[in-house]
Structure 1
Amino acid sequence: MKVFLTVLALAVASASAFETVVRPKDIPKVPRVEGRITNGYPAEEGKAPYTVGLGFSGGWWCGGSIISNEWILTAAHCIGGDSVTVYFGATWRTNAQYTHWVGSGNFISHDSADIALIRIPHVDFWHMVNKVELPSYNDRYNDYNEWWAVACGWGGTYDGSPLPDYMQCVDLQIIHNSECVQYYGSGTVGDNIVCVRVVDGKGTCGGDSGGPLVTHDGAKLVGVTNWVSGAGCQAGHPAGFQRVTYHLDWIRDRTGIAYY
């Protein structure tokens, strides 16, 4: 990890009224790469061919999503260092179908939101390596309230567990922002955020930053992993993602990718 625990300040009148949040990448450093889906299930080969592992030169690990032959979508707080090694088509994290080294000149971070793009060398698609579609412009105002989605990543299956390298996935239900605001306040949960319920400790955790949240219905990328409760990944409190529909114009203007 690049940094130790980072707690975001809440822009509310009484900070004590709401919980803090923490970026999964910034959960305290351990002497091994940390990437975690808590209480999920092992992914069969090819389960999420759009999911990539991102090993940054600074020594931290994040996830990302293939959105075209030449672009990865991830979290801005992941971006850093001189380069990143992109792991494509890996079920076992370090046993990728292939990898690409990408220099920092190909990183594009959003100016004010926790979302970023990485330009990659052209990759061909097949059942182990493929893109995930973005929502269409017709769905840009869909809040996906109560929709089910899946998040996938690598690592331990509970807080403090040994690190298995096999990809894990977890099914999560999206909630209305008004429910999420009750935990974290409107200073953290803005229109650019989509939240999910964390039930029975099932959710995202350390190293899952930047990874995908993809709807069961239609298989659309609706979220980029951003933060979890400062009380812990398994505390049962909502987790937050960048809302992809909020950033469709930003993505289109930099990549040309759009669905109408």
Structure 2
Amino acid sequence: MRPILVVLALAVAASAAPQYEPIFTDYHEEIGIPEAARIKAAEEGMDFDGARIVGGSTSNVGQFPFKAGLIVDLLSGLMSVCGASLLSNTRLVTSAHCWRHRANQASQVTVVLGSELLFSGGTRIISSQVELHRSYNEDNLNNDVGVITIDRVAFSRTISSIRLATGSNNFAGTVATAVGFGRTNDGAPITTSQYMNHVELAVIPNEECRRVFGPSIVVSSTLCTSGADGKSTCGGDSGGPLFISGTVSITRPVLIGIASFWSTAGCQRGFPAGFARVTSYASWIQSRL
């Protein structure tokens, strides 16, 4: 009888284990490659009469001059998409998984600045100089940070930099803004117009986010936002900025998060979205500027 009791005990323990929401396992294969094809086709078919981020609003040229789109050329010959934030005339910060994630590795990126569209307009700079955080983990997306080096770009009304958040503020309860070229809803059709989008999101405590995704995904260097009211980052927004407005004395926006992950169930299901917490990586990033 003892072996049967052991098996039953193990079965009960397994059934009692927490069931956490899964995140994507290969960004480019699952999201970036199909999203690149969808965005490109949608831009080509646009009639420029309307409105990617879920639950947000269309962004105008110059509204977020630090926001960059990334067209990612993979070694496989396929194309993917991501986002980034401009930190100086020659440096941007993005998610590490935009450059390398599981089966897919990039060969170069086209950095798109000063444009409300991803595949046309603005200033376009090709780079293959991308440094990933040495502790980047492709399985759980811990330390999901990378720095891109580009040829010097001149600042203008539509192109300028964003400040890095420093210090110990965890920003819980703060309302921040996310910007991206990604989907505007889980089932966005190919005809969806493709302008850059933005949305306001509430930062939540890590404990709340950890209950959804688990302790291996949500660590101290993770920052999460609420998915309330169906508002979130979504497919194609990876690497893009989450920021807060400046103060009276410091007018430039402050980057607090780098878009990293969300639930595979979709972006409108009310689940949190995960970001790399910029204050955890500020010194690492600054040493590369």
Q: RMSD of the TM alignment (CA)?
A: 2.0
Larger C-alpha radius of gyration, 1 or 2?
2
| Deviation string, structure 1 residues 3-39 (Cα, Å, up to 9, x no partner) | xxxxxxxxxx976432212376554553753573112
Letter of the 1:30 partner, please give it: P
Corresponding residue of 1:46: 62
Letter of the 1:43 partner, please give it: S
- Aligned residue for 2:184, secondary structure, equals coil
CA contact (8 A) 1:54 1:62 kept: yes
| Pair 1:204 & 2:227 matched | no
- Counterpart among 107, 121, 124 of residue 154 in structure 2: 124
**Closer/same/farther in 2, CA of residues 225 and 116 from structure 1, 3 Å limit:** same
- Aligned residue for 1:33, secondary structure, equals helix
| Pair 1:230 & 2:260 matched | no
Corresponding residue of 1:134: 164
Distance in 2 (CA, whole Å) between partners of 1:15 and 1:211 is 34
- Counterpart among 74, 79, 87 of residue 112 in structure 2: 87
Residue ranges of structure 1 left out of the alignment (5+ in a row): 1-12, 256-260
| Deviation string, structure 1 residues 144-200 (Cα, Å, up to 9, x no partner) | 011111111114321121242201101101011111111112211101100000122
| Deviation string, structure 1 residues 19-74 (Cα, Å, up to 9, x no partner) | 21237655455375357311211112211110111111120000000011110100
CA contact (8 A) 2:184 2:234 kept: no
Corresponding residue of 1:240: 274
What TM-score do the two structures reach when normalised by structure 2? 0.77
Distance in 1 (CA, whole Å) between partners of 2:16 and 2:73 is 39
Distance in 2 (CA, whole Å) between partners of 1:42 and 1:31 is 18
Distance in 1 (CA, whole Å) between partners of 2:28 and 2:173 is 27
Letter of the 2:151 partner, please give it: P
1:175-214 equivalences in 2 (<5 Å): 175-214=204-243
Corresponding residue of 2:245: 216
Distance in 1 (CA, whole Å) between partners of 2:35 and 2:85 is 26
**Closer/same/farther in 2, CA of residues 15 and 242 from structure 1, 3 Å limit:** farther
CA contact (8 A) 1:43 1:169 kept: yes
Corresponding residue of 1:20: 22
- Counterpart among 187, 200, 218 of residue 160 in structure 1: 187
Distance in 2 (CA, whole Å) between partners of 1:146 and 1:34 is 35
Tell me how far 1:209 sits from its aligned partner: 0.6
Corresponding residue of 1:62: 82
Letter of the 1:146 partner, please give it: G
CA contact (8 A) 2:36 2:80 kept: no
Q: Which runs of 4+ in 1 moved over 4 A?
A: 13-16, 23-26
Distance in 2 (CA, whole Å) between partners of 1:185 and 1:225 is 18
Corresponding residue of 1:6: none
1:138-153 equivalences in 2 (<5 Å): 140-153=167-180
Distance in 2 (CA, whole Å) between partners of 1:233 and 1:20 is 13
Corresponding residue of 2:121: 96
- Aligned residue for 1:77, secondary structure, equals helix
What TM-score do the two structures reach when normalised by structure 1? 0.85
Distance in 2 (CA, whole Å) between partners of 1:14 and 1:115 is 34
Distance in 2 (CA, whole Å) between partners of 1:173 and 1:38 is 14
Residue ranges of structure 2 left out of the alignment (5+ in a row): 1-14, 40-51, 100-104, 136-142, 248-252
Identity, % of aligned pairs?
34
